[in-house]
């Protein structure tokens, strides 16, 4: 995710409902430039690895979640809470991370930090073993859905989510992190982020 895209996600995460709804400061469709309402859809620009805002007419160019034209993919709405998924075989160094299958068959893991998201490639055999344990992961739409995991300090939260949710979480960490350990604000805000996730069909 580029610095500009992350800045926009941070701004959206902190705006009050209705803010930027009208006027010259309104959020704009990144394809046509028209204003977009609260709750608008997003596209993934796979070339720039960037999330784009899109108005409803432009979103209708993309017939289904994960479908695209050129290097743009429509990001869906599906959220599903999962039973605990064993992530130790994936080599996760921290308890807060998300995993994105790619169109080429690889899987990229990310974990948030004050500087953004750090990422690394998952060993194919480790991912196959994880999918065998949790077959729902085989339904992830490449590039635009992720396994989101929070096992920090005994938490057990495992979700299938659209990747814009993951970027919102990265924005929360970047906005709230203080000092070397994160400070007193970041974990309550992460807990609130997960508490506000609701299951939703795609």
- Does one domain contain both 125 and 183? yes
pLDDT, tens digit (0-9, with 9 covering 90-100), for 42-60: 999 888 888 999 999 888 8
- Does one domain contain both 59 and 37? yes
- Does one domain contain both 16 and 110? no
Residue 58 maps to a domain: yes
Q: Which residues form the domain of 158?
A: 80-195
Strand partners, 28: 35
Is residue 143 within 8 Å of 76, Cβ to Cβ?
A: no
Quote the pTM value.
Answer: 0.81
Give me the number of domains the chain comprises.
Answer: 2
Q: Which of 47-56, 90-99, 136-145, 174-183 has the lowest mean pLDDT?
A: 174-183
- Does one domain contain both 32 and 112? no
- Does one domain contain both 86 and 184? yes
Distances (CA, A) of 148 to 10, 24, 62, 167, 176: 19, 35, 25, 11, 19
Query: Quick one: tokens of 54?
Result: 């899109």
pLDDT, position 12: 52
């Amino acid at each position: 995710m580029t610095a500009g895209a992350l800045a926009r996600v941070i701004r959206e995460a902190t705006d009050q409902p209705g803010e930027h709804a009208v006027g010259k400061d309104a959020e704009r469709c990144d394809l046509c430039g028209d204003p977009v309402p609260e709750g608008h859809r997003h596209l993934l620009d796979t070339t720039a690895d960037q999330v784009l805002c899109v108005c409803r007419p432009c979103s209708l160019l993309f017939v289904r979640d994960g479908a695209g034209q050129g290097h743009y993919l429509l990001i869906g709405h599906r959220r599903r809470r999962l039973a605990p998924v064993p992530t130790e075989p994936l080599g996760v160094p921290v308890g807060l991370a998300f995993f994105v299958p790619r169109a080429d068959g690889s899987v990229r893991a990310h974990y948030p930090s004050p500087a953004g998201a750090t990422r690394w490639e998952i060993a194919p055999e480790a991912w196959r073993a994880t999918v065998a344990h949790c077959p729902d992961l085989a339904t992830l739409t490449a590039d635009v859905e992720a396994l989101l995991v929070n096992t920090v300090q005994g938490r057990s939260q495992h979700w299938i989510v659209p990747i814009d949710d993951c970027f919102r979480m990265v924005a929360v960490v970047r906005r709230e992190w203080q000092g070397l350990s994160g400070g007193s604000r970041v974990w309550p805000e992460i807990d609130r982020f997960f508490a506000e996730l609701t299951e939703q069909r795609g």
